Structure 1
Amino acid sequence: MGHGMSKHASLESCWVILYGKVYNVTKFLSHHPGGSTAILQLAGQDATEDFDLIHPRGTLEDHSELVVELGDIDVDSLPKSPKEPDASQRGEIDIPMSSLLSLDEIEELAARQINQKGLTYYASATDDQLSKRLNNQVYRSILLRPRVFVDCTDCDLSASFLGQKLGLPVFISPAAMARLAHPTGECGIASACSEFGALQIISHNASIAPEDIVKAGKPGQVFAWQLYVLKDIKRTEAFLARINKIKEIKCICLTVDAPFPGKREDDVRFKNSELRNVDAGKAQEWGTEGGLTWARTIPWLRSHTSLPIIVKGIQTHEDAYIASKYAP
């Protein structure tokens, strides 16, 4: 098909190129969990690289009723956009991980290696980042109370979690879109966890399908899955049905503290710098359901899974008490 892609970069007509094919995604704009802006900034262009970094296989098929394939296109004939230089092109030194002695050193190196898009996503926090700074401060204020004269010749760090044996009393939180940081993404995390028997909580917004992530682990490895309840309840229920079939996933972590997106200023600022002159509609669109309640949501979730449910995001003792009243 001919080009003319630049004519289709608006809310009224939005086309993108994925894997050598042109798709009309206009109907999908209002349904995209990350908001329409994320798509519009790539409208009329080859979006394959950006799409592939953060979307698992099957994403297009899952939204086939809203995404229309229009035909093939020769991507080599498209004008080339300048790409951000990678770490080697920026003159970064390849430092072996074995030489890093602390989490601070790992974070410092990551900030130099990850591209700007990934860094602003991972390192940013809401508004003035007061909670982020306070969290770090509180974490560093926790002091250990060492006990002495205990036989340490054979130490055991294993722990039990919901009846599952773990090699470490540490878990990997469900950070989304891991392929922004490394090509192996969540599969790389699963492989690392397998070396220590650590629990990996797979993000609802993982860049790799959960079925593929668990395959990257070892037999008997324990996983959990984070759930965002979407406005599209039927799609949420379909995803839960998939998760129920994955025997390695032992519990559901229901996120309750994100009915609307936080204003992650660094992340938003970077996205705005990528935007061309397009009308992105509402500044904040979000795919999660804002009307969740204890009385409706917990019974609904229990009716769609037999897995243990962990409520993720409680920040007050009052809500912890209420949660106990609705424990299924």
Structure 2
Amino acid sequence: MTKIASLDDIERLAHQKLDKNALDYYSSGAQDELTLRDNIRAFDRYQIRPRVLRDVSCVNTDVKLFGNKFASPIFIAPAAMQKMAHPEGEKATVRAAFRKNIAVGISTMTTTGFDELWETVQPILNEKKTQAEEIYNPTLWFQLYVYKDRARSLDIIRKAERNGFTAVVVTVDTPVLGRRLADIKNEFALPPHLSLANFTDILESESDANGGVKSTNISMIAKCITQAVDPSLTWEDMKWLKRQTKLPVLVKGVLTAQDAVLAVEHGMDGIVVSNHGGRQLDTAPATIDALAEVAEAVNGRIPVLMDGGVRRGTDVFKALALGAKGVFLGRPNLWGLAYNGEEGVCTMLDLINEEFRLAMALAGCTKISDINKTFIQRSPTYSAKL
């Protein structure tokens, strides 16, 4: 077998293992998929400006966020229905993340319960306590859709708090579900042996209404979103949510300076620049293009993170140079899962972290705080300025 040398290699092998139902669900975007493709291509519009004759014999990728120390600014994004990629699903993902000492996001649309996730990392945490090396704080972050039923939202936040989650990441770019043509054409359905851990009551009521027929298909999932998620959510609701928990609250789905300023003004603890992996509003800007505007508007008052299209270590470097404190990997985690479960995710993380470390060294940076806007420029191929 050809040696795996990049995330592209893992993706190619994952595509060979996944059935069409799962593959198209994971890989597709909204409508004509213009934003989906541009998320990746947009990184080519930026170039790294390396500095030379610097001592890079020791490169440190440690980063601190919300009182936790991570081994890298490369985190795992929340992604739905991970048991379609591998039987262990989200459990394999969190074990890999904790082994690599990073933060991992868990989706509202998880196929694994919160209690199972917390239990599965306890042996890793216990092992780390006995190690003499410097301790990191790998941790779980919960991705939340705010429900129309506020009591339901509070219930799931409390469950997350009880199960060791250390941040709430509120997705705000999904007041309604984007139109994903592949799912419509394929009549996507969650395999019958799987379930959505946070929507069992709604799905069971729909099953009863259908004469006991259990089918979590794309129309049913859209119905869950429509029934449960509040499309009237505003910044005032975010202020209410912030008062309900002591955990940091990040707002995910910001693409403009205007909304970045509002996030700060309404007391949010962080921002995730995101277009939902190109799965919501097609023709929205690539996240790396939106990042600088958001970071400048925030001006260091709260951390800015980003997701979307990150596939290489140089992508991570460019995002940090434009103002991100960290990046999330979405689809690469799913490809790692499909390829080889927990070990596949670890392999994926090892590859991109090594690429990132190499990019830092070749650019002349030895620590994360060294990376700034002076290390990046717009490619002359493209006319727009940074």
- Give the TM bin, normalised by the shorter chain: 0.5 to 0.7
Residue 170 in structure 1 maps to residue 86 in structure 2: no
State the TM-score, normalizing by the size of structure 1.
0.64
Q: Which has the larger radius of gyration?
A: 1
CA shift for structure 1 position 272 = 6.5
CA distance in 2, matches of 1:273, 1:186: 19
Tell me what 2:31 maps to.
Answer: 127
Alignment of 1:207-222 (within 5 A): 207-217=111-121, 218-219=124-125, 220-222=137-139
CA shift for structure 1 position 173 = 0.8
CA shift for structure 1 position 161 = 1.4
CA distance in 1, matches of 2:120, 2:57: 33
Matching residue's letter, 1:225? F
Contact 2:239 2:267 in 1 (8 A): no
CA shift for structure 1 position 157 = 1.2
Task: Decide which of 128, 140, 143 is 1:223's aligned counterpart.
Answer: 140
Distance 1:223 1:147, change over 3 A: farther
Unaligned segments of structure 1, at least 5 residues:
1-94
Task: Decide which of 271, 281, 294 is 2:187's aligned counterpart.
Answer: 271
Residue 291 in structure 1 maps to residue 232 in structure 2: yes
Unaligned segments of structure 2, at least 5 residues:
126-136, 191-212, 269-386
CA shift for structure 1 position 124 = 0.8
Task: Decide which of 128, 146, 153 is 1:236's aligned counterpart.
Answer: 153
Distance 1:204 1:273, change over 3 A: closer
SS at the partner of 1:254?
A: strand
Task: Decide which of 259, 264, 269 is 1:319's aligned counterpart.
Answer: 259
SS at the partner of 2:229?
A: coil
Distance 1:103 1:140, change over 3 A: farther
Contact 1:241 1:304 in 2 (8 A): no
Query: Relative contact order: is structure 1 or structure 2 higher (C-alpha 8 Å, sep ≥ 6)?
Result: 2
Alignment of 1:35-184 (within 5 A): 99-184=3-88
Alignment of 1:301-316 (within 5 A): 301-316=241-256
Matching residue's letter, 1:243? A
CA distance in 2, matches of 1:151, 1:103: 29
State the TM-score, normalizing by the size of structure 2.
0.54
CA distance in 1, matches of 2:233, 2:157: 17
CA distance in 1, matches of 2:188, 2:267: 42
Alignment of 1:4-43 (within 5 A): none
Tell me what 2:312 maps to.
Answer: none
Matching residue's letter, 1:246? N
Tell me what 1:203 maps to.
Answer: 107
Distance 1:224 1:148, change over 3 A: same
Matching residue's letter, 2:87? P
Deviations 1:197-221 (A, max 9, x none): 1210111111111222233333242
Please say which of residues 165-174 and 318-327 is displaced more in the overlay. Answer: 318-327
Distance 1:142 1:200, change over 3 A: farther
Count how many residue pairs are aligned between Structure 1 and Structure 2.
225
Structure 1 vs Structure 2: percent identity of aligned residues? Answer: 30
CA distance in 1, matches of 2:61, 2:27: 30
CA distance in 1, matches of 2:184, 2:140: 31
User: Which has more helix, going by share of residues?
Assistant: 2
Tell me what 1:35 maps to.
Answer: none
